[in-house]
Structures are given as C-alpha cells and as structure tokens.
Amino acid sequence: MTIHIGAAPGEIAETVLMPGDPYRAKWAAETFLEKPRLVNEVRGMLGFTGSWKGNPVTIQGSGMGMPSLSIYANELIRDYGAKTLIRIGSCGGMQEKVRLRDLVIAMTASSISTPSRGIFRELNFAPCADWSLLQAAVRAAEAKGTPTHVGGIYSSDVFYDERPDLNEQMVRHGILGVEMEAAELYAVAARHGCRALAVLTVSDHLLTGEALSSADRERSFADMVEIALEAAFA
C-alpha cells in the first residue's frame, strides 16, 4: 500500500494500462479482462487487476495532467514493480491527415514543462516511447485495419489553451495531436528502466472543431485498448 494506491503486495501486475479517467479504467477492465477485481479506490482513482489471454494486467486510472500521472507511475513502478506502462486515452488532432477515430501512437512527446523538469534543469530531455512496444502496437493496428499515425505529440500543461501561436508552430512541425500526460510517463519510465507507450484515440480536432459523441468515443476506444494489450504481450 502506498499513499495513493491501496493495493496489497502482489495485486498489481507488471503490465499496467493507464487511462486518465477512473471510470474508463472500470469500463476497460470489465470489457477486456477476465475476472477483473478492484484493487484500488483511494481518492476515487479506480484500479483493477485481471488477466488477458492468460496474462496478468492492471488497469489503473491516472487522473488528468502530468502531475497526477507522475504520482501513479512512480508508485506503480517503485512500490509495485510495474515494468510496462501504456497510456490509453484521447487526444486532439493537430494535422489535416489525422481524422476523428484515428489512432495516434506517440513516438515522442514534446512539452513546455513536466514534473521531471526539476531533475533535468537546463537539459531539454526528449522523452520517447519504448521501441518494442511502439513496433508491436503499429503491427497490431495494421492487423486490425485501424487508421494509425505514428510520430510526435504534445503533452500540454493546460486544457484550456490560449497559445494559438504555439499551436501554429506545432502544426508546422508535424505534431500529430495534443494530450496531457505522455511526456511525463515517458520520462518516469526512462528514469526507472521501464517500458512505456501512449496509444491515443483522436476524439476531437483543433483545426476543424469536430468532436466525437460519447457513444462514438466508447466504440473507438475499444480498438485502442485491444491494440495496447496486443502490444504489451507481443
């Protein structure tokens, strides 16, 4: 048991999927895992452990934003021995070629600042995904026929952005989408020698203003979870 995770020793699997929304963690566990059991509900941040094709898996909510994600990733790795952490969530599209419901697999994650900034100080650390996970996720997406984009994303400190000038430069430099957690996940995993990946569904678009309905999000997120699981155990 840690400050933020109430699971007992042995109740967290080495492979952890991390949606931001705790209720999405509940939905994913009940939909994809065999015999899922609740292992954490501290502060309402739900976590479940079960199995997928005989492999132990934990699905743990991370909350919104990098500070919250950092807490859970650190405790999962440091105190529970997690080795593979995959963020499953949504992102906003930032390129014309990126469409609603497409999958974005983040090779790199740019940011203005992360909770790890205090460690790196003057260094602009470039957090990136684990290659074996990224490669496996791309193969799984291709096998399912899911439209997929692989490249850089932007992890933002804020949800309500007021920097159109920065967005213009990111679009210009090929950033595929924006979300709020992956850069810190990649940094924490690198620090502890673990594998990390972000597999994201495009739920809205910064250029067109389009957005998925709640029902469409659920159908699209199912592909994302399956691809993340396939990648974890490839």
**Would the annotation count 149 as a binding residue?**
no
**Residue 233 has what pLDDT?**
98
Residue 103 lies in a domain: yes
Per the DSSP assignment, residues forming a β-bridge with 40 are: 47
179: annotated binding-site residue?
yes
Provide the number of structural domains found in the chain: 1
43 annotated as belonging to a binding site for a ligand: yes
Task: Give yes or no for a contact between 173 and 167, defined as CB atoms under 8 angstroms apart.
Answer: no
Q: Which of 21, 79, 204, 216 is catalytic?
A: 204
What is the predicted pLDDT for the residue at 220?
A: 73
Residue 195: give the domain boundaries.
Answer: 15-232
Domain holding 176: CATH number?
3.40.50.1580
What's the pTM?
Answer: 0.96
Tell me the pLDDT tens digit for each residue of 156-191. 999 998 889 999 999 999 999 999 999 999 999 999
Q: Is residue 10 part of a domain?
A: no
Tell me: is residue 217 an annotated ligand-binding position.
no
Q: What is the pLDDT of residues 67-124, one digit of tens each?
A: 999 999 999 999 999 999 999 999 999 999 999 999 999 999 999 999 999 999 899 9
Angle, CA 41 vertex, CA 221 and CA 187 arms, to 5°: 60
Q: Is 204 among the residues known to form the active site?
A: yes
Residue 19 in any domain: the answer is: yes
* Strand positions, DSSP E, the chain: 15-18, 34-40, 47-52, 55-60, 84-93, 103-110, 148-155, 177-179, 195-205
37 has binding-site annotation? no
Q: Is residue 2 part of a domain?
A: no
